[in-house]
Amino acid sequence: MKKNYIDLLESIYALAQSGIRYTKSPFDMERYQKLLEIATQEYSEFTGLETEVLKERFKNDLGYATPKVGVNGILLDEQGRILVEHRSDDLLWGLPGGWVDIGEDPETAIKREFWEEAKLVVEPVELIQFLAVPAGRFGQPHSSLQALYLCKYISGNIEISLESLEIKFVDPAEVTNWHKNHGEHVQAALRHLKSRI
């Protein structure tokens, strides 16, 4: 029931968002805005996020409704440890990454994220996995697609940004408190790397 409900909410949101973008009728505009308001209120109750926070997020989504696209990167050191960051937003451990910006391809996005979060220049060398994450998972009011890249170190020295409390290479088995599905990403990467041996 929970999945059907969030799917219904996402469909209402997508219909409202697309309608607001493409309608020429002021009467239909009112209807689409009302649908968006209903979806926002229901998302708020479902996710626990404040209605005003959701309105602000939804306001920035223009045009036809599509999933958001995110990227994360796996960077290994010489000992096979993985670079992780102790995040300042939820105090959990995660991989470098974030949302793909408008006009940006995923490979450029992961390079930008490594630079912004750790001041490291990397090159994505392989797409390890591409996941679909349904709306409602991790309290997100939208569905997303997430690309996980194996990255190669090019240059730079680790520096901490405002997004992190600490950044370091670790044995992934030492981390028990992963941000969202980053632990799943790491396990997928380890399986992938093991299959190449």
Residue pair 85/166 in contact (Cβ under 8 Å)? The answer is yes
Mark whether 122 and 82 lie in a shared domain.
yes
77 and 170, same domain (yes or no): yes
Length of the chain: 197
Report residue 33: phi and psi, to 5°.
-65, -35
* CA neighbor of 185 nearest in space, from 135, 133, 139, 143: 133
User: Tokens for 130?
Assistant: 């591409």
Element housing 124 (H / E): strand 121-133
**What angle in degrees, to the nearest 10, is found between the helix axes of 26-47 and 51-59?**
130
The tens place of each residue's pLDDT in the chain, 197 residues long, gives 466 777 788 788 888 888 887 888 888 999 998 998 888 888 888 778 788 887 777 766 656 667 889 999 999 999 999 999 999 988 999 999 999 987 899 999 999 999 999 999 999 999 999 988 877 666 666 788 999 999 999 999 999 999 899 999 999 999 999 988 888 889 988 888 888 76
Q: How many domains does the chain have?
A: 2
Domain boundary among 11, 45, 62: 62
> Do 48 and 132 belong together in one domain?
no
